[in-house]
Amino acid sequence: MSRPVPKPGILDIAPYTPGKSPVAEPGRKVFKLSANETPFGPSPRAIEAYKSAADHLEDYPEGTSRVLREAIGRSFGLDPDRIICGAGSDEILNLLAHTYLGPGDEAISTAHGFLVYPIATMANGASNVVAPEVDFTCDVDAILKAVTPRTKLVWLANPNNPTGTYIPFDEVKRLRAGLPPNVLLVLDAAYADYVSRNDYEFGIELVATTDNTVVTHTFSKIHGLAALRIGWMFGPAQIVDAVNRIRGPFNVSTPAMLAAVAAIEDTAHQQMSRTHTEKWRNVLTDEIGKLGLKVTPSVTNFVLIHFPTTPGKTAVEADAFLTKRGLVLRALANYKLPHALRMTIGTEEANLLVLDGLRDFMAQP
């Protein structure tokens, strides 16, 4: 029987696997701590702006996301003409791959980088080259060593999901300087809003001073607009022009645009979330460490917890134990981290319950 056949390579791609759906014991309150969602939700101003769009759902959005690009420009001091908005930063990552990668090309990502990178790479017929990490952190020298004449793009999440680690801006600049000028460096700064280190800069300066670097960001994390799927990119004029040629004309909805404008302007809501996250990131790292479990130092709104391979104390068993209590963390076997769980920093109640759950789990004979 004849039927349509996907182009070569598509069926070799491992599909993206989201966090599991929570199923707890009867009567347990469920805390979803598997998707790095903010526990505070969006700014009330963003919710109000979203609802205000309901009276005009029959109208197409403004095709270039102009009001949002201008708001981002005001917030970060950027030229709105060098900004592209998309249905989540995932769409923009895929647009970049579609624009710059093809059969025979290579793109480099790191050992525990975001799973969308190999998907976007392979979907366009290019090969995904994996550079090893050091202590779950990007290794600039390993990336540079992996470069070949076929390399066209480097994906770098900084900070990285799911490890929570980052590299200083000086290292990012060293990476850019060591790459050939025809290689596009994509800096994915989805978690930049949570970083408080003095040696970190999420990439704007590098984009502004080179013509082969872009930075992407999202409204899904600190802004709490994950359901609306909205992200953005800042890049050189010629890259923005190229990507705009294949971007869908109405890829960002009007409600999403208006909510994002209100969200980025509510700096008090962002600071509240940032303060809470930093406090509990430190508490969780310290308290989990006291249980004999290693936590990778994080600068994000999640922590990576490593479990032993001893029967009864494994990550798989800890995951099942916590899930029964309504505490849903993220298993990471698909990230080649089978002995770790990623925990989103939640409300105070959720964080304390996880600590209690881990204490009880580790205390089991």
Strands 31-32 and 327-328: parallel
In tens, the pLDDT along 159-214 reads: 999 999 999 999 999 999 999 999 999 999 999 999 999 999 999 999 999 999 99
* Contact (CB, 8 A) for 162 and 337: yes
* Contact (CB, 8 A) for 70 and 78: no
CATH no. of 18-41+268-363? 3.90.1150.10
Q: Model's pTM, two decimal places?
A: 0.94
- Extract the residue ranges of the chain whose pLDDT is less than 70: 1, 19-25, 27
Q: Please state, in angstroms and rounded to a whole number, the distance separating the CA atoms of residues 262 and 176.
A: 34
pLDDT of the residue at 163: 98
Q: Please state, in angstroms and rounded to a whole number, the distance separating the CA atoms of residues 84 and 15.
A: 26
DSSP symbols for 66-119: HHHHHHHHHHHT--GGGEEEESHHHHHHHHHHHHH--TT-EEEEETT--THHHH
- Domain 44-265's class? alpha beta
Average pLDDT score over the chain = 95
Closest CA to 211 of 173, 182, 190, 187: 182
pLDDT of the residue at 15: 76
Read off the DSSP letter of residue 267: H
Residue spans in the chain of domains classed CATH 3.40.640.10: 44-265
Residue spans in the chain of domains classed CATH 3.90.1150.10: 18-41+268-363
